[in-house]
Structure 1
Amino acid sequence: MPAAHIRPARHADDTALRDLDGAVWSPLHSVQPRPRPPYAPYFDANERPEDLLVAEDTDGTVVGYVRLVPPTPLDSNRHVRQIQGLAVADRARGRGIGRALVRAACDQGRRQGAIRITLRVLGHNKPARALYESEGFAVEGVLPGEFHLDGEYVDDVLMGRRLTP
């Protein structure tokens, strides 16, 4: 099956994104408690459609997203973008959608004038770390035992890469 079509998010994606987050939640990648229905709206003052790219399946179903934002509001940091969320529906895994979303985020960052992109990933999330490394991200720092999840201390791994040659 082909990878999904990547497009900017729209307000109309709210319910699909909210439901996707609820369905894919795991302590492998989330430091927040498991969301419980009824889920709050996805978009609010901090979560805006213009910060997301969504993966849409051939039938129009949203099967993934990546959130790309400036890491801080500082002018001195405006050349950087940060991935602050990546999700792919279980039924769509193994089709290259996560990779397509990471590449789309890098392209979007370049279009926004960024020369660098960063992210944070939990140390025990080996699949995500392998994906990011295969797309040119390198470990730039580790906060040992930063989170306590499911009875274990988990590292917060900081990764980044240049967006320009």
Structure 2
Amino acid sequence: MSVPHPPPRIRRATPADEDALGRLDRATWSTLHAVQPRPQPPYEPFYTERFGPRDHLVAESGEHTDGRMDGHIIGYLRIGFPTSLAANAHVRQILGFVVAEEARGTGVGRALLRAAAEEARRQGARRLTLRVLGHNTPARRLYESEGFVVEGVLPGEFLLDGKYVDDVLMGRKL
């Protein structure tokens, strides 16, 4: 019998999270979801001029039986504007989404997606969109279970590991 995992704590990222987020990002790199080459040292900073702590939700591992949070970052989601156009300001886009290998299948990704929808609504958004690689079946199933639908496909958009992979555009109303 498996031991149930305590629910993750979702919070806004802080400047102090940068190193942990960078390590998590590098540790989870895969052509299942990444279109950029594997990061190599010296590593670029995780936060950039465009995306800082305010644009990231962080999942921390859950509460221990004694009520303490262990504070280990096990996932993040980057949310932002898909364009800088005023006519598109009612839309937010998921621009990065990672769950640590050991936390996959435990509800962390679902909690982050729900927190992102809540945050997008709080910001006044009416839609939430994302892009996912066509061969990333686990992510696509999760997105569909949270109300996202396929709104477009760019066939063979990326060449990864010698194979052409579709870029799938998904979205949902908030």
1:96-117 deviation per Cα after TM superposition (whole angstroms, max 9, x unaligned): 0000000100000000000001
Q: How far did 1:61 drift?
A: 1.1
Q: How far did 1:139 drift?
A: 0.1
Does the Cα contact within 8 Å between 1:19 and 1:39 map onto a contact in 2?
no
1:74 equivalent in alignment to 2:78: no
Aligned match of 1:132: 143
Matches within 5 A, 1:2-151: 2-57=6-61, 58-151=69-162
Distance in structure 2 (CA, Å) of the matches to 1:117 and 1:108: 10
Distance in structure 2 (CA, Å) of the matches to 1:15 and 1:40: 11
In structure 2, give the amino acid aligned to 1:6: I
The total of aligned residue pairs comes to: 163
Q: How far did 1:53 drift?
A: 0.3
Aligned match of 2:66: none
Q: How far did 1:40 drift?
A: 1.9
1:40–1:78 distance in 2 versus 1, CA, 3 Å? same
Q: How far did 1:39 drift?
A: 2.0
Q: How far did 1:56 drift?
A: 1.0
Larger Rg over CA atoms: 2
TM-score normalised according to structure 1 size? 0.96
SS of the residue 1:76 aligns to: helix
Distance in structure 1 (CA, Å) of the matches to 2:9 and 2:42: 29
In structure 2, give the amino acid aligned to 1:2: P
Distance in structure 2 (CA, Å) of the matches to 1:63 and 1:17: 9
Percent sequence identity over matched residues?
64
Q: CA RMSD in A?
A: 0.8
TM-score normalised according to structure 2 size? 0.92
